[in-house]
Amino acid sequence: MMKYVFGLVLLVVGGVVAVQGGVLVMRWNDNMTQTARVMPGERAFAMPAGSVPRSGGELYYPKEEREAAAARKNPVPATLESVTKGGALYVVYCTPCHGAAGKGDGLVTPKFVPPPDLTNADLQKGRTDGYWQSYLGVGGAIMPSYGEALSPEERWHVVNYVRSLAQK
Ligand code: HEC
């Protein structure tokens, strides 16, 4: 008789332990999906209007504010050094469409919308440095934006280079 009671007690204890263990495993597995962790890119913290980075930088002008962007003066003098820097960046980012000389005959153009001739005197006259610098940052109707690839300062260098391509 005691044998059965002992067996029964063992079964009950074993059962309780098994259920508890199961609950623990369940919670362990589930909890990991319900923690207060933040996934990358899940939350965006908007900067207050007019914020600038601590180390230099400049205000961001979206496409809609191109006129304000165009009114800015070019803070980077078109020295040989600046034009050389801009030229190196131009080769990497712009030649595929605009061509080495800015004529709009890059390798991509037969399969893409032909870009304007950047050496054109009327175009060069009609645009301010500020306009182009912002244009490179946010892109055009078709032209991609380079705001992530090129820093604001690098874009001024590129503008200085594009100016050097102007027809004399
Ligand atoms: C994928 C092709 C492509 C690349 C790469 C590209 N552009 Fe353009 N670009 C265009 C097209 C197309 C236009 C005509 C305007 C439009 O549709 O966006 C244009 C227009 C321009 C204009 C004239 C804007 C105006 O109306 O005053 C400038 C200046 C310019 N690009 C400079 C650059 C520079 C500098 C780079 C490299 C940082 C570059 N582009 C890279 C395709 C490109």
CA distances 114 to 48, 99, 102, 138, Å, are 39, 10, 12, 19
Q: How many angstroms is it from 135 CA to the middle of ligand 1?
A: 8
Task: Report whether residue 127 contacts ligand 1, using a CB cutoff of 6 Å.
Answer: yes
Q: How many angstroms is it from 52 CA to the middle of ligand 1?
A: 26
2-11, 24-33, 78-87, 132-141: range with lowest mean pLDDT? 24-33
Q: Between the CA atoms of 90, 152, 134 and 101, what dihedral angle is there, to the nearest 10 degrees?
A: -10
Please, which pLDDT band fits residue 56 given cuts at 50, 70 and 90?
Answer: low
Q: Which ligand 1 atom is at minimum distance from the Cα of 139? A: 18
- What CA–CA distance (Å, rounded) separates 105 from 97? 7
Instruction: Say what the pLDDT of residue 11 is.
Output: 95
Average pLDDT over residues 138-157: 92
Q: Percentage of the chain with pLDDT > 90? A: 64
Average pLDDT over residues 69-89: 96
Sign of CA dihedral 88, 94, 95, 99: negative
Ligand 1 pocket mutation pick from 67, 89, 90, 98 by most atoms within 8 angstroms of CB: 98
Please, which pLDDT band fits residue 59 given cuts at 50, 70 and 90?
Answer: confident
Average pLDDT over residues 141-149: 91
